[in-house]
Amino acid sequence: MVFSNSGIADEWWRFVSAAHTSESYSGSSNDLPGSANFSSCLAYLLEDKDFAITRTSAQLYMCKSKFSNGNGLIDRIFQLKPICEKFEGKLFVGPEGMISSLVPSKTLTEHISGNWYYIRAKHDRNVYWSFEGYPQARVIVKKDASIIKPTVFGIVGVDVPERTVLIDSDKIKIHLRRAGHSPLVLSYEDLSYSNDRRLIATEKGKPAEFLFSAFGDGSFTDLGYGGISWELVNTYL
């Protein structure tokens, strides 16, 4: 499979690992009780108890089945209505050799709830989120990452299990690490001298929630860098 972008690949994995019912695929309740994940439902409908899909990395998904592609396994899966409706035009399925020749290997950041990341501008590898000041830490943007090490921030999904692969529609909170103390959670502070607000990290106030998509769509306008896209990275520069 080839996805139109890494975000679609993460949405695919969320769909695969989320709870579903057999009605989603067959139009009837069959005999599958309650709900199960995508692989369990397909194992039932394909009459293949060993069927399973696992995520090895952000780029690699493994499928175990008694069927081979020659027996129409891929066709049977992608003819299912929920998959057609959700991923039409967003992924391509083809022979393994052809896909591997079309898509070179690339290092991708795994967007995992609870992990810590540097937040970097997509347009400039030297521009990062940072902070200054205690006990109230103000989030700022640094241009000199080659001189001063940027800050790492924790990205935690709201109402999703720990270690979940995050997708654009998830709500998140952003944490700031403190040595010897529990993390601070970012919140907004309204400025008395203007209609603007700024991102701060403090033990007081209500933690702010953001859509995970805000990093990529330019929604963070409170840093003096509104309208640009940010990315999560494991290392800086």
Q: Three-class SS of residue 222?
A: coil
For residues 229 and 127, membership in a common domain is answered with yes
Provide the number of structural domains found in the chain.
2
For residues 96 and 29, membership in a common domain is answered with yes
For residues 126 and 223, membership in a common domain is answered with yes
In percent, the amount of the chain with pLDDT more than 90 equals 19
Task: Give strand ranges (E) for the chain.
Answer: 2-3, 19-20, 36-37, 52-55, 61-64, 91-92, 116-121, 128-132, 137-142, 153-157, 171-178, 181-190, 197-202, 210-211, 230-233
Q: Is the pTM of this model over 0.85?
A: no
Phi, psi of 210 (to 5 degrees): -130, 155
Lowest mean pLDDT, pick from 76-80, 146-150, 180-184: 76-80
Q: Three-class SS of residue 202?
A: strand
Q: Which structural domain range is residue 210 located in?
A: 116-233
In a domain, 111, yes or no: no
